Amino acid sequence: MPDPICIKIDSNTAIAMRDGVTLYADIYRPDGDGPYPTILQRTPYDKTANLTHTMLDPIRAAKAGFAVVIQDTRGRHASEGEFYAFRDDINDGFDTVEWAAAQPWSNGKVGMYGASYVGATQWLAATARPPHLVTIAPTVTASNYHDGWTYQGGAFELGFNMSWTLLQLTLANFKNVSSVQDVPRERRGELVQAVDDMTEGFAFLPTKDYPHLDSGLAKYYYD
């Protein structure tokens, strides 16, 4: 039988973006000199969550000879900065790909993978044409994040946008959001109530004045 491959896990590795904001990633790789082909996932849903391992088991991939980088996107969970949906994923994606390619354990070839918003982080990075990005594998995602995602036939997709923003983008990351935007802690209880009463939110008029995501909690929702 072949000798088992030992792996090395580097948690919360700091990666500086061009504007000085630091994003953090967990890196899984063979415990050797390499270099290794590198696989990158950039997620807003917590790099330590089981969800990040459903598309690809990073430990299994590392044992197969790959370096796997799983990064919290800007303003999410361990990473610094302000989260604003989609806005920073072009530059941050470019910078992260090129950072990964420059590491001594990387062979300079970087691929990206993942589903849903993690698919968006791939498409957006690819538009910047990072020299060392050789492939992307977006799944269960879109190619247009306006029409067909946040809008349908020109109309604001209220059901999706409100539920996604309340649950996944705000409540799940309230600690980061409240610290960056200086939001009072009691707003968390209001968010929980808003989630419980989401049908009332769907009926709230005018939609632009919906109160539970204002005061800096989710500026992108109103934009």
CA neighbor of 85 nearest in space, from 153, 20, 168, 23? 168
The DSSP H or E segment spanning 42 is: strand 36-43
**What is the pTM for the complete model shown?**
0.94
pLDDT in tens, 98-136: 999 999 999 999 999 999 999 999 999 999 999 999 999
Task: Give the Cα separation of 129 and 79 in Å (integer).
Answer: 24
What are the extents of the domains in the chain?
Answer: 7-139, 151-222
- Correct CATH for 7-139 of 3.40.50.1820, 3.30.70.2860, 3.40.50.2000, 3.20.20.70: 3.40.50.1820
SS3 content of the chain, % helix, strand, coil (to 5): 40, 25, 40
Q: Is the pLDDT of residue 5 over 90?
A: no
Q: Is the pLDDT of residue 2 over 60?
A: no
**Buried/exposed 184-199: b ≥16 CB within 10 Å, e otherwise:** eeebbeebeebbeebe
Task: Give the Cα separation of 180 and 172 in Å (integer).
Answer: 15
Question: End-to-end CA distance of the chain, in Å?
Answer: 58
The CA angle 66-38-77, to the nearest 5 degrees, is: 105
Task: Give the Cα separation of 53 and 60 in Å (integer).
Answer: 10
Q: Which pLDDT does position 172 carry in this prediction?
A: 82
